[in-house]
Structure 1
Amino acid sequence: MDIFDMLPGADPVEPEAPICSRKGCRAHATTQLLWNNPKIHTAERRKIWLACTDHAHWLEDYLKSRSLWKETLPLSSKDSA
């Protein structure tokens, strides 16, 4: 909360729902795909792509074909907060 939230008529800003990382997709994300590029990231580093139900398999295949995929997990409400 900031001082502008206290002004009359100020609407609190609600966090946006996470969306799919697939280019052009605006669907709500349900899955997180953890990956890293061993050429530029340390072994323990994990980058995250979010995916909707329709694109989770496609994005996982994309990462696997490039040897970047590490793990696929469901996206829980605490992950998107």
Structure 2
Amino acid sequence: MSAAEPTPDLPEAGDRHVCSAKGCRQAAVHAVVWNNPKLHAPDRRKVWLACDEHRRSLADFVALRGFLIEVVPVEQLTDADG
């Protein structure tokens, strides 16, 4: 896989969100919101966090599979996301 392969359940580092791309430790500023309808309830919103560099590759990864819901700034995430 590419360098943008997601790392599942990556915790926050201190007070900042960390990009979900494999090996990336940059601050996340985007939230890639997705749902796999074969695994998740229709209202479930899974989130990968992304830095500027990995926003497109992470979004493209889930979009290619038809899972992408939206990409929003991290500040717009709610308790329903996750």
TM-score, L = length of structure 1: 0.74
Q: Which residue of structure 1 aligns with residue 48 of structure 2?
A: 49
**DSSP-derived class of the 1:49 partner:** strand
**What's the RMSD between the two structures over aligned residues?**
2.1
Cα distance in 2 for residues equivalent to 1:33 and 1:63: 9
Cα distance in 2 for residues equivalent to 1:68 and 1:78: 18
Cα distance in 2 for residues equivalent to 1:58 and 1:71: 14
Q: Which residue of structure 2 aligns with residue 69 of structure 1?
A: 68
> Amino acid of the residue matched to residue 70 of structure 1?
I
TM-score, L = length of structure 2: 0.73
**DSSP-derived class of the 1:63 partner:** helix
Paired residue total: 66
**Contact 2:31/2:77 (CA < 8 Å) preserved in 1?**
no
1:16 is displaced (CA, Å) by: 3.1
Gaps of 5+ in 1: 1-14
> Amino acid of the residue matched to residue 27 of structure 1?
Q
> Amino acid of the residue matched to residue 74 of structure 2?
L
CA offsets 1:31-71 (integer angstroms, 9 cap, x no match): 00110110011111101100000000110000100111111
> Which residues in structure 2 correspond to 1:1-81 (within 5 Å)?
15-76=14-75
Divergent runs of 4+, >3 A? none
Gaps of 5+ in 2: 1-13
